[in-house]
Structure 1
């Protein structure tokens, strides 16, 4: 479908008249001579593009219903249907702004009365006119939606048929390689292919024009062939040697970033050389269908071989000092390189033979000739699975694979060994399509995962270079892990294609994802969501920028206290976030008015479930407005004393004097009892108790204490400090100093200083400080009889308690 046709279709559905609203099909006319003939509506006008769509849709329905329609034909029809469907989807919202304006105009007239006669004639006429305009404006969208549904349904029908055929081909059984009776027909097919290839060569050489073209291009072809062979076999070594020389001149921090991209030349050079050679050969026009098929497959086969061997060189490196992804011994890595290289040769050869031995021309026995490649690939896959297993069991402790990586490697090794045996067995039984659809995809999956792993390592090295962090720390950082996760997600569609998902199906899933879903009268697509995030992010960033400027440049120049400044900054943040959300919703064109009732009902339910959270949020707003508690205040709440360090939306953080953080819900600060020692000023009272002995002069002691209190620099003299004689205690006379401090935050240090001075003055004045004394009364020992006298000459018995 051309761009011009698509543009005409869009214009068509944006400008269709109201006569198309009954549908795209014409109505049958009434019988002539009847009274209904004059009252019948005019037949809808069908322009060329609409007629083209109707004809195409009808023809497509017939081909889909025909079981003999080839799969390639269905794929082409599906591609055209997808183009039509996208056109119809774009046309559905063509008059959205005009429809919204008309609805607002109709709403401005008020609700239509139950009795039309009750409405003034002018308003009724205007309402009818607007209703007619609204019907005409909605007609193109309705017609486009109907056509969209039809195209979408046809696409689903085609996909269903193609999937069923694909499943049938997968389990279809052909000639079995294990059956000796199949060998002779297979040999005949191979002989016929060789005969056809030789006949094509003879016919081309017999053509004077083609023979002359080949002779003229022979020197160039010979040179290019030698260059291609040299690049295939020696280019890898030359590039590796150049990279090794460059490594000695580059700092290690840069080497991990540049080594992998530079080594891709080992893939690019052979592919370029073969592509140039094949292009020069094809320009001669030599050969027929077989030779052209082999030539067309030569570049993909070269790419398969070069890329696979490149992956093998990085997963199983030959040099000892290089970091390995799989912790294997040097002899195991050498075996891995050999196995992967053999698989690359088998894959390249199978690509060439698959292009030449087409089943459409040589029958089912052509697939049997490809079984040796499937068998070899399966055995190689089984051994590679064993190597993956050895990476888990024989790895040294310093390089042991653990965690999620060990789980993935274990699963891959088991799957590779199972498929490596089951695939060739299925092929030997005659299920060649099943065998080829398992062995090759399994090996390609390992290659894709290896590429992902190498790219992840490149991301880690690049992050370490930019941030100047250690390599181990870079692997544990959040940003490279997120990028690596996105890389794995991006590889999922590629793996789906490898395992048989049709490109059309993948495109369909992507289109469905891009189309989004309907929310009310609006359609939400991923691009709308991304645009919403960008607008909201910009608004949030501007809000934070304004908060920073207000906090550091404007508010410090005002006379507001710290609590007021913090309240203004927090309030600006809340307002900015709300405005950013509104701007993001408005800019994406979301119309959520139709969801107002549903949102109201949900808000009631959510309100009951999140009652405490909402209560704490409202309390946080009240705290910021009334400011009974502000940051930096010394408060006591719930038996906990400390300094307020932060007031958030839900809770307030209080730091105790033991440097512990206590999270207090904001509702507790509003509804509970809170003691704020520094709410309006920092002045506060300090009380210091003291006792002296009973033989002390009470008035002298009171005078001494009064002098000590008045001498403190933090004690205010208005009102003056007071000394109270509280009474007679158990051990002495009890006094108490009560003084008002300029800053209650220094109460502990002032109390300590007063106690030091009291101790020094009372000692100097000879006033004793009483302390508790206790007398221990022990009962008299019992009178015990005298022990018998020891025998003469015996040593006295030892004294024991």
Structure 2
């Protein structure tokens, strides 16, 4: 009974499961609330008078809604795929003028209605996401326009003495607000009660803070010196970099303790606490800049400096970096606080339109007067820093292409810094204070970012060298280059923020990057690419494991020859790569059907351009299947002879007997004539020509040659060696020794041994090996007669007498005498007159 009830329950649950999945798959999106937020954002964008904070807030709300809509675009995706498959199973719909069975038509209508119902939530979410994209784009466009207007706004020139009192007015307004707040704090009933109650804590924190600020860097430096004496050079650099962090962290901790002690006194109000926090930020940035200056321009030779500078120049670089860090800190945290509080102080007394206009003029002129001296000082420091970078180029020797490229980057950076150092103060003096600030201070902070990247890269490189125990080789290897590339990519968002990009812009860029781009109807995103890469690599690893198992364990135990084993292993490799690619594409959800038309159009052009590669590829497949040649074969093709070392899908690599490698396209092996000396077996025939002088006993020669051939260990006796008397040559009686070698790879060695033994046996038997005979016919034989005077020359009008040709043998010539010459010597061989 219980079993029946369980089966009934499972049946009811299975029938209700599709409906539950359909009901739960649709996300609960409140489109009424969305419509309200979207309408509010569109109204604000059209008006364009809201503050940036308001726009940022409404933009974030729209971005949150868009994320929900993006997630709802895949609603009912599995059910939609099922219904589409059912519709496809019904076959194509009837064409115009034709009908189909009523049951099929009714079922097709039901499935189409169900499909439309399933697709409705995703379509609505897609529409809402498109509307959200448009609203966000309009808000970003409006805010970027405001930034541009602010940069190009011309304020009163700080060089005009008329505007100097405005700067004093802004500073005095802030000073008055602070003094009023402190006076209010001190006018209380017992303002020092909190200080008395917390006196031990305040004094303790104050003393510890002063100790960390004053002695912390010195302690870390002594620790680094002590560790350097006990560690190797590679380990010393890593430990020095780690210990140097203490030179920064201990003073930062001291600043934090000092601020905590001042807060415990309760003598300052909210404005004073803000100012103390700002001052703490300024001091912290100064400490970080000091540490960074010590790492980029080191005091000692213990650490490797990024720039090639002398000791005095490095000292100047440290001073410039510390001073520039102080100016950046003053302009950054302190400057922003002055602007913010100055506006609130001046706007507090605004009650009429004229007062508002006057307050605006005071703010523009006063802030310009206060900012211009900082701009001039920063310009001077940047100018000198750019000159130091250019001096590095004069001290550096470009011994490689990599160092030359790096030096070009350093030189370009130095030139850009010098240009900014000159242009920015000029803009500030004219009145474009905002543009000068937007150009000058981001440049200084970008230099600090670059310095930080260099320091981190140097530390990671030293750590890699320490782990791998490779000094110069490790520093020039691929890993440090990849580390630098990753650090550079990671620094790009920070650089974008430095140069005025809003965090919302970076988030928008990241969302766009995550969603990917459409290529031919296929959506390519980082997730899709990562899925494809992981599955393809796993498939490739499995293929390599199968190949290794076959090569080392299974195939050697079979009777398949070496060439067949290599063909099987190569075929499994190509099949595995193909299957891995197909499975990876399917798992990543890439639909290649939309690329079929593009691929068909490109195939024609690619076919013409790659026909040679395709021909070689097909030839390689044929070589692997038919195996007319295999690895280890001795072949001769196209005038090249050697041992086959590897057969790939495009070419075959052979090693000649000169130990050189020749790459032969596979098409030449299929279409051309190939001689395989060792295919099937290594036996081969050697034909050795031998010549003896005329008059020699030919039977005796035949016997000697036969004995010489039989004495060679590699000469096979079945078939037995043969000695052939081939004929009567121009200079000799010609014989041939024809033998079959058991291993044709030693043909040259056997030929050499046989020649040695033939020469020895002929010498013992007194058989002469002739050399070529020549007859010389001279047109003027009189030169060989005595040393008397040459015959008189005939007159010009007389015909020269005919001189009979004289035949002179080799013995008649002798050695020519000095001063005697031979003219028009004709070289003629007995017989056919050929030259050998």
1:696-707 map, 5 Å: 696-707=696-707
Which of 340, 343, 366 in structure 2 is aligned with 1:360? 343
Choose from 15, 19, 36 the match for 2:26: 15
- Alignment correspondent of 1:548: 548
Moved more, 226-235 or 569-578: 226-235
Q: Deviations over 1:319-344 (max 9, x none)?
A: 14543222222111112212222222
8 Å contact from structure 2 (residues 255, 284) kept in 1: no
- Report the counterpart of residue 432 of structure 2 in structure 1: 431
SS in structure 1 opposite 2:30?
Answer: helix
Q: Is the 8 A contact 2:532 2:584 kept in 1?
A: yes
Partner of 2:529: 529
Q: Which residue of 1 aligns with 2:588?
A: 588
Call closer, same or farther: CA 1:663–1:251 in 2, change over 3 Å. Answer: same
Superposition deviation, residue 215 in structure 1: 3.7
For 1:470-489, list aligned pairs within 5 A. 470=471, 472-489=472-489
Summarize deviations over 1:136-180 as a string: whole Å, max 9, x none. Answer: 111111111111110001111011111111011112122322111
2:45 to 60, 64, 73: 64
Counterpart selection for 1:104 from 52, 66, 85: 85
Number of the residue aligned with 2:155: 174
What does 1:581-660 align with in structure 2 at a 5 Å threshold? Answer: 581-660=581-660
Q: Match of 2:785? A: 780
What is the CA deviation profile of residues 682-714 of structure 1, one whole-angstrom value per residue up to 9, with x for unaligned ones?
111111110011121101111111122122221
Structure 2 CA distance for partners of 1:686 and 1:396, relative to 1, 3 Å: closer
How far is 1:519 from its partner? 5.0
Distance 2:178 2:392 in 1: 46
**Preserved CA contact (<8 Å) 1:327 1:396:** no
Paired with 2:290 and 2:402, the residues of 1 have a C-alpha distance of 24
Distance 1:396 1:111, change over 3 A: closer
Match of 1:491 in 2: 491
Asked if 1:448 is matched to 2:449, the reply is yes
Structure 1 357/216 Cα, relative in aligned 2: closer, same or farther at 3 Å?
farther
Structure 2 partner of 1:50: 31
- Following the alignment from structure 2 to structure 1, what is the Cα–Cα distance between the partners of residues 819 and 694? 46
Larger deviation: 122-131 or 553-562? 553-562
CA 1:521/1:251 → structure 2, altered by over 3 Å: closer, same or farther? Answer: same
2:518 aligns to what?
A: 518
Query: For residues 512 and 11 of structure 1, do their structure 2 counterparts lie closer, same or farther at Cα, with a shift above 3 Å needed?
Result: farther
Comparing 260-269 with 103-112, greater Cα deviation is found at 260-269
SS of the residue 1:118 aligns to: coil
| Pair 546,63 (structure 1): closer, same or farther in 2 beyond 3 Å | same
Cross-structure match for 2:68: 87
Matches within 5 A, 1:182-193: 182-193=163-174
User: Is it true that 1:267 corresponds to 2:245 in the alignment?
Assistant: no
Q: How far has the Cα of 1:397 moved from its partner?
A: 9.4
8 Å CA contact 2:73–2:122 kept in 1: the answer is yes
Contact 1:620 1:666 in 2 (8 A): yes
Work out the number of aligned pairs and report it.
Answer: 749
Task: Show the counterpart of 2:392.
Answer: 391
Alignment RMSD (CA, Å): 2.6
The runs of at least 4 consecutive aligned structure 1 residues that moved more than 6 Å come to: 10-13, 396-401, 775-778
Contact 1:13–1:141 (CA under 8 A) maintained in structure 2:
no
Bigger CA radius of gyration: 2
Alpha-carbon deviation of 1:281?
4.6
Shift, 1:115, TM fit: 5.1
Q: Contact 2:195–2:264 (CA<8 Å) still a contact in 1? A: no
Q: Residues 204 and 211 of structure 1 are in contact (CA less than 8 Å); yes or no, is this contact kept in structure 2?
A: no
Range with greater deviation from structure 2 (194-203 or 346-355):
346-355
Cα displacement (A) at 1:727: 0.5
Superposed CA deviations along residues 7-52 of structure 1, whole A, max 9, x for unmatched, are: xxx9999427xxxxxxxxxxxxxxxxxxxxxxxxxxxxxx871111
Q: How far apart, in 1, do the equivalents of 2:280 and 2:325 lie?
A: 14
In 2, Cα distance between the equivalents of 1:209 and 1:400?
73
Find the residue that maps to 1:264 and give its secondary structure: helix
1:367-414 CA-to-partner distances (Å, cap 9, x unmatched) read 532333222222111111122222222558999995112212211222
SS at match of 1:528: helix
- With normalisation by structure 2, the TM-score equals 0.85
Gapped regions of structure 2 (runs ≥ 5) = 1-20, 347-362, 792-817, 821-836
Q: 1:593 to 1:240 in 2, by over 3 A?
A: same
What residue is the counterpart of 2:504 in the other structure? 504
Distance (Å, rounded) in 2 between the aligned partners of 1:345 and 1:12? 62
Shift of 1:65: 1.1
How far 1:212 sits from its partner (Å)?
3.1
Mapping for residues 557-596 of structure 1, pairs under 5 Å: 557-596=557-596
Q: Which runs of 5+ in 1 are unaligned?
A: 1-9, 17-46, 787-798
Q: Report if aligned partners of 2:520, 2:595 keep a CA contact under 8 Å in 1.
A: yes
